[in-house]
Amino acid sequence: MEDRIYLNLKRNEKNIPIVFVERIEKIREYILSFNCSNLVIFTDRLVYRLYKDFIDSLQHSYLYLFDKGEESKSIESYLKAIDYLLDRNVDRRALFIAIGGGVVGDVVGFIASTYKRGVRLIHIPTTLLSMVDSSIGGKTGINYKSYKNQIGTFYQPEMIIICPQFLGTLPKSEVLSGFGEIIKYGFTLDKSILDIKDRFEKDVFEIFQDKILAMQLIKKSINCKVKVVEKDEKESFLREILNFGHTVGHALETYYNYYFSHGIFVILGMVAEMILSNILFNFDLSNLDFLIRILEKNSIKLPQRFEKSQIISIMKYDKKNISSSIRIVLLKDVCDYVLGYEINEDILYEALDKFEKIVLS
């Protein structure tokens, strides 16, 4: 298997290859084909422990390890990495490699876009979520105070290398997290992804043991993301579709202090946003069954009740909102969406009320 999808960005005439490789060992060839002054690898301690032999085989000049987890997307963590690079006189002809999940990808993307006004970057996503979502599209970001991704840039990598072998060590919660994003593409952009419903008597984990099915789902998802980013790189309009499930999902994620992994909050957010879609556009609520089944099968329950007014106030700070109005992506039907719908707070209360009954019962 050696195939690729191109992300074609007309604005800066850049064709970014998304390369699929079956075996980790193959990645080295791609990296070594780039000329650079210094090869700097960024990963987290856990990924390094799991893939030490592979990472060390890349003949890096420097290896920078983040602690695992969202904390690595703080300003302090960003500045510490910048100090590390400055102390070693890393120049702008270096090549940065981000090996890890969305956290490593986001913070290293931000470092690469700002250090010396921009250093070339390759993403090697190692979680399902980062393969199908965060490594593609060029969004970088760090968190500020308790708000996610408030500081960031758009910065495209030279290449993205997808190797499903990394999924072999991923814990179930992280597989489920990526699955949340895959299902989002199914409800918004590619109905055929939802055919998985019929095979869903199995555990999500088992689905991803089936390498052919896993690869199909990953490629379909990447195709969805590529198509949207090609049409709207800087999230001016169409790219908002990718936020389905995320407005409520992010607010819950902040409120519950990252209690579950990101994609699980996206699944919960999709439930809430489908309820809103039902209230406003008569969206067929039988579509919720699949999401509820995923939550039930994986025993996902919010740990305690939430304060609706606080969820709403967090939503107002969502960076996608203009002033303090709450704008959200809604569905009229599967893959028939309404972008940037300005939500009235009373309706939001009503939907959150229904949502709470479903997810806490």
The residues annotated with a catalytic role in the active site are 117, 139, 181, 225, 235, 239, 243, 246, 250, 262
> Residues of 99-122 as b/e, b for ≥16 C-beta within 10 angstroms?
bbbbbbbbbbbbbbbbbeeebbbb
Quickly list DSSP for 225-285.
HHHHHHH-TT-SSGGGGGGTTHHHHHHHHHHTTT-S-HHHHHHHHHHHHHHHHHHHH---G
Q: Which of 27, 54, 55, 73 binds ligand NAD (CB under 6 A)?
A: 73
Closest to 288 (Cα-Cα) out of 358, 199, 341, 190: 358
Residues 83-112 that bind ligand NAD (CB under 6 A): 100-104, 106
> Contact between 166 and ligand NAD (CB under 6 A)?
yes
Number of residues that bind ligand NAD (CB under 6 A): 31
Segment interacting with ligand NAD (CB under 6 A) among 44-52, 289-297, 303-311, 351-359: 44-52
Rounded to whole angstroms, the Cα distance separating 182 from 297 reads 17
> Contact between 243 and ligand NAD (CB under 6 A)?
no
> Contact between 287 and ligand NAD (CB under 6 A)?
no
CB 249 within 8 A of CB 259: no
> Contact between 180 and ligand NAD (CB under 6 A)?
no
Residues 201-240 that bind ligand NAD (CB under 6 A): none
Q: Which of 20, 31, 48, 68 binds ligand NAD (CB under 6 A)?
A: 68
> Contact between 121 and ligand NAD (CB under 6 A)?
no
Inter-helix orientation angle 262-281/288-297, to 10°: 150
**Of 167 and 351, which CB lies nearer to ligand NAD in the complex structure?**
167
Owner of token pair 């895959």? 182
| Dihedral sign from CA coordinates of 206, 212, 217, 222 | positive
**Of 38 and 150, which CB lies nearer to ligand NAD in the complex structure?**
150
Dihedral pair phi/psi, residue 356, rounded to 5°: -60, -40
> Contact between 174 and ligand NAD (CB under 6 A)?
yes
Judged by the rule CB under 6 A, the positions of this chain that interact with ligand NAD are: 44, 46-47, 50, 68-70, 73, 100-104, 106, 126-127, 129-130, 133-134, 137, 139, 148-149, 166, 169-170, 174, 177, 261-262
